[in-house]
Chains A and B, each alone.
Chain A
Amino acid sequence: MTSSPPANDVLLDVQGLEKRFHTRNGDVAAISDVSFTVRRGTIVGLVGESGSGKTTAARCILRLVEPSGGRAIYDGTDLFALSDRDMNAYRRRLQIVFQDPYSSLNPRMRVDGIIAEALEAGGVPRRQHQDRIADLLTQVGLSPDHSRRFPHEFSGGQRQRIGIARALAVGPELIVADEPVSALDVSVQAQILNLIQDLQQQHQLSMLFIAHDLSVVQYLCDDVVVMYLGRVMERGSSRAIYAAPRHPYTRALLSSTPVPDPDARTDRIVLKGDIPSPLAPPSGCVFRTRCPHAIAACAQVVPPLEAVGPDQFVACIRHNELSPSASRSNA
């Protein structure tokens, strides 16, 4: 990512986030000890395959599901310690764009109704609604004429634009984008990504960008957090991680990203099997069952996140032995 963060101050500081779900088969730790920060005006990518807890982590931060532990310090206030009523005062500052552009818009409401609901929640006086709706629709690349239509009259990409307009309506500082393009056609993905990037720069937004596609994250994000089975495997600046991924899981993810260069030599690391059930997570390092470098010691302790560079942290007991150069040579 090329744009440098305008300021270094932290807007959101997530510390030791935990989420357990109670099920008939016992408690499931969906997220364990997840920590990361989002600086003002930057985009942080949250990556990992399905079931890694990315979405749950984001929903906890927004208090759409109640976290089981940890803190989320937002601009000096712990969101998790707020009452529901106090949290409502913060809701207009943190917004979310959903993955599925179909179910994220009420099929029975017209576009202007959908955006007006957000404006109303954001305290915009009713007489300004029409102008604001037209303005927001224009900002996301739609026409004000679209405001009287129903969601089903739009394509997936257009619907996602409506979802973005709704999130912007309250003037948020931080937007959680939960895989906003993964449900779209490839041809439309780039348009929406460009829109998100433009709006982010225009409004000086901070962003938590959830994705499973690392090439998207590389293009968009300042920092990256790699999750696996509810834990952070590696995090740091995009630059550092893409140049020299240190965790075997990050390497496997990166090696699975197609490179648009037929001559580029890539040694694909193919992970065997599926992500284990969170009902019975492996002891020690949760990734060891699929890790090509796992040794007996990996089953003994949960590896702590250790600094391996100024902007890079990795949770692997063998990160020193595994040479950084074993990764893709596109640094």
Chain B
Amino acid sequence: MNAPATPSALVTQPGVLALLLRRPTAMIGLVIIVVIALLAIFAPLIAPIPPGKLSVVHRLTPPGPIWFFGTDEFGRDIFSRTLYAGRLSLLVGACVVAIATVLGLVLGLLAGFFRRLDTPLARIIDALMAFPDVLLAIALVAALGPSLLTIIITLGLVYAPRLARIVRASTLVIRELPFVEAARALGVPAWKIILRHVLRNLTSPILVQSTFIFAHAMLAEASLSFLGVGVSPEVPTWGTMIASGRQYVGQADWTILFPGLAIVLSVLSLQMIGDGLRDLLDPKLRGQM
């Protein structure tokens, strides 16, 4: 028997970062989203003017040295507001991913691992998937009343079935693998098999899907805010900024340009990361790049 050449310290499976480095597009996406996240997180330090400060004299001023992105119809600084809005968008995205992942995991694992639960749960998942996501979100927000918490919970519920489907499909495969049979032959209880064997091997598909959900959630939050069923209009989010700037597009296109760009860049970068991860973690696609 020949001993493996690699020293054991170096060997663990390549980390996500190392994988991303091999995909330039994914790497660019990662850089963009990290920059956006840093700008949002440190918004209070970076923003030159408080986001709520009104300066009616300077309303609808074009971008310049004082107001980098110009001002809106109340003379508020769009640059500062865009930074602050990023905090909310990222917060919503992160919370939605967390809720959708936990819910999707529970539903998907139960449906995939226990055959008896599969048919009823799979039907519920499919039924939820059949609704257009924004429409379902609007209905839920209308029922629960608009607030940041409502939006987060609502979008979490909307995206949970997507993750549940992926988890269920992967669980169906993993459940039949010999190492799971070995655990069953040892008499390991089902919940331990699920945590130790199934869940650990689900990390790749969950990671990919979560990235996409993050992007979708940010977009959906912007859409809801734009439509006025999201947070109250005075709270700066990219969606509310575009909604209020919409009326002045003709004379002051910068009011919607910069929040719009922020949405495009963050969603695009997340999609690039997701695509890269999916290609890298899917052995079937590996080597075709």
What chain B residues lie within 8 Å of A108 (beta carbons)?
Answer: 13, 200-201, 203
CA distance A96 to B181 in the complex (A): 9
* A258 on interface, CB distance cutoff 8 Å: no
The number of A-B residue pairs with CB atoms under 8 Å apart is 78
Could you tell me the distance in whole angstroms from the C-beta of A53 to the nearest C-beta in chain B? 17
Chain A positions 114-149 with a Cβ under 8 Å from a chain B Cβ: 117-118, 121-122, 141, 148-149
What is the 8 Å Cβ interface bit string for chain A, positions 147-158, against chain B (1 contact, 0 not)? Answer: 011101111011
* A301 on interface, CB distance cutoff 8 Å: no
Q: Is the CB–CB distance between B178 and A149 below 8 Å?
A: no
Q: Is the CB–CB distance between A96 and B185 below 8 Å?
A: yes
Q: Is the CB–CB distance between A106 and B201 below 8 Å?
A: yes
What chain A residues lie within 8 Å of B66 (beta carbons)?
Answer: none
What chain A residues lie within 8 Å of B56 (beta carbons)?
Answer: none
Report the count of interface residues on A (CB-CB < 8 A): 39
* A103 on interface, CB distance cutoff 8 Å: yes
* B196 on interface, CB distance cutoff 8 Å: yes
CA distance A68 to B184 in the complex (A): 19
* A12 on interface, CB distance cutoff 8 Å: no
CA distance A149 to B6 in the complex (A): 10
Report the count of interface residues on B (CB-CB < 8 A): 24
Q: Is the CB–CB distance between B200 and A106 below 8 Å?
A: yes
Stretch at the interface among A87-95, A219-227, A259-267, A271-279: A87-95
* A191 on interface, CB distance cutoff 8 Å: yes
* B8 on interface, CB distance cutoff 8 Å: yes
Q: Is the CB–CB distance between A153 and B1 below 8 Å?
A: no
Chain A positions 156-173 with a Cβ under 8 Å from a chain B Cβ: 157-158, 163, 166, 170
Q: Is the CB–CB distance between B186 and A121 below 8 Å?
A: yes
What chain B residues lie within 8 Å of A96 (beta carbons)?
Answer: 181-182, 185
* A16 on interface, CB distance cutoff 8 Å: no
CA distance A109 to B185 in the complex (A): 18
CB contact between B8 and one of A100, A117, A141, A148 (< 8 Å): that residue = A148
* B278 on interface, CB distance cutoff 8 Å: no
Chain B positions 182-197 with a Cβ under 8 Å from a chain A Cβ: 182-188, 196-197
* B251 on interface, CB distance cutoff 8 Å: no
CB contact between B1 and one of A105, A107, A155 (< 8 Å): that residue = A155
Q: Which residues of A come within 8 Å of B, CB atoms? A: 59, 62, 64, 87-88, 91-92, 94-96, 98-100, 103-109, 117-118, 121-122, 141, 148-150, 152-155, 157-158, 163, 166, 170, 188, 191
Q: Which residues of B come within 8 Å of A, CB atoms? A: 1-2, 4, 6, 8, 11-13, 177-179, 181-188, 196-197, 200-201, 203
23 residue pairs bridging A and B, Cβ less than 8 Å apart: A62-B185, A64-B184, A64-B185, A91-B185, A92-B187, A94-B185, A96-B181, A99-B178, A103-B178, A104-B178, A104-B179, A106-B201, A117-B183, A117-B196, A150-B12, A152-B13, A153-B6, A153-B8, A153-B11, A154-B4, A158-B1, A166-B182, A170-B186
